[in-house]
Amino acid sequence: MSRATPPRPSPVDRHLHRATRALPHHGGYLGFLAFLEGRPPGIDELRDVVADAVTRVPAWRYRVCGDNRRVWEPAHGQDPRGHVHELRLPEGPATLEGIARAAYEAPFPEGADNWGVWLVTGWAPGRYALACRVHHALQDGLGAMAGVGAFMLPGLELPLSVPPDAEPPFRLAGTARWAARTLPALLRPTARWTPARQEAGTTRTLHLTSCGTERLKALARAADASLNQVYLAVTAGALRAWTPQDWSARGAGPLHAFVPAESRPPGHGSATLGNHLVALRAELHCGEPDPRRRLDRMRESTDRRGAQIPHQRAALRALPRVADLATRCLLHPSRTALLTTNVPLGAGLLLNGDPVRQIVGLPPLLFGQPLTVLLTTYEEQATVCFTSDRGDPDPGRLPQLWQSALTELEEAYAPVPPR
């Protein structure tokens, strides 16, 4: 595909485009915040680095337009240096969460609101951070992170999208079998829970917690589960403790979480424009008091093999009207209670020779849902971010509740000592 020819927007791109219009906050943006050690570059130096990267990140030469049919358009005449900003914090001790919140809330200048890069400095000598935020209708998380990688890896050239000849073929019989087996469950309503009954605010909160990645990997090995399943099971335990009144009745149904699943064909993981996502609808059994059973009961709904991801991707392309209706239905708050996502970020990133020590996700908050939970893993550090626009129950309790749920699940899988 020519780098000058954008792909056709998918129903997911169009739904994200619609979903951001009525938001009273920047909930339609996703991003990452990288913490580095070294001498911060000057703002003009960083603008030069980003301007060079934009020549190699074709998605950043587009902007979201007002037409929901087209979603994006070329940003002719755009100066990429105008998308690079400086955020200076007060000198003195600063928490990881406080720095992330400042980057999360930084306003976009007028005319440069599709994507932006912030140089965050001031709180300590020899330390700085780099934030990147992008409109979700323009890019998904992996596309945005690939763009960040381009200005940390000089010379890296990224494609605009997936070439048509690499797309999975649409096979009606296979898609019909997948739909018959999967879609009825997607139409079942999710459990009613307290945050969904609260009125949305005009601002968002952001709270963080971290643990060693090895803790999650060790639990995954002990439970014979994926790291993502462990993360979701711990999240279910935290949500159970967050709103215990919602799970006291016997027979409480599961809370359904939208789990984006990467759908780029193998070998095309760095496609940058648009959202290359399909859906898993994870069942979080918050009403189950046994942490092991909470994990066991959500395994089937988070099985990527059963999701038939190539069939879903092909159907999104071949049946856009049907896919658009299904997307709207699935993401309605009555069917999906929250967004949970997991972005692995590798290791060894550098900027001008300075090492990236930790990366924190800055998740979107969309679709009228009251909560988004994002796990990022970079090197040996796993960070969980919670963002919400509801104040009751207090989302500030979630980091500690998540840590307690992690300990609870670890204890449930701890070896029984010999007698």
Residue 415 has what pLDDT? 74
Average pLDDT estimate for 254-267: 90
- Contact between residue 190 and residue 256 where contact means Cβ atoms under 8 Å apart: yes
Mean pLDDT value of segment 41-65:
93
Q: Lowest mean pLDDT: which of 137-151, 208-222, 230-244, 377-391?
A: 137-151
Q: How many angstroms separate the CA atoms of 126 and 37, rounded?
A: 6
Q: Would the CA dihedral through 373, 378, 380, 381 be positive or negative?
A: negative
Please report which confidence band the pLDDT of residue 3 belongs to, taking 50, 70 and 90 as the band edges.
very low
Residue partners of 126: CB distance under 8 A and separation at least 6: 37, 38, 39
281 pLDDT more than 80: yes
Asked if the model's pLDDT at residue 308 lies above 90, the reply is no
Residue 311 has pLDDT above 90, yes or no: no
Pairing of strands 371-378, 338-344: parallel
Cβ atoms of 285 and 236 within 8 Å: the answer is: yes
pLDDT bracket for residue 172 (50, 70, 90): confident
- DSSP result, 385-407: EEEES--SS-GGGHHHHHHHHHH
Q: What percent of the chain has pLDDT over 90?
A: 60
* pLDDT confidence of residue 278: 85
Please indicate, yes or no, whether the overall pTM of this predicted structure exceeds 0.85: yes
Amino acid letter, residue 292: R
Banded model confidence at residue 206, pLDDT cuts 50, 70, 90:
very high
Q: Cβ(136)–Cβ(366) under 8 Å?
A: yes
Angle at 191 between CA 342 and CA 391, to 5 degrees: 70
Reported as half-sphere exposure (CB side, CA atoms, 13 A), residue 345 has a value of: 32
2 — pLDDT class (breaks 50, 70, 90): very low
- Band of residue 119 on the pLDDT scale cut at 50, 70, 90: very high
Q: Which of 140, 22, 106, 13 is nearest to 64 (CA)?
A: 13
Lowest mean pLDDT among 80-84, 107-111, 321-325: 321-325
Residue 227 has pLDDT above 90, yes or no: yes
At 228, the amino acid letter reads N
pLDDT at 162 exceeding the cut of 80: yes
Mean pLDDT of 190-195: 94
Q: How confident is the model at residue 8 (pLDDT cuts 50, 70, 90)?
A: confident
C-alpha span between 66 and 76 (Å, rounded): 16
417 pLDDT band (50/70/90 cuts)? Answer: low
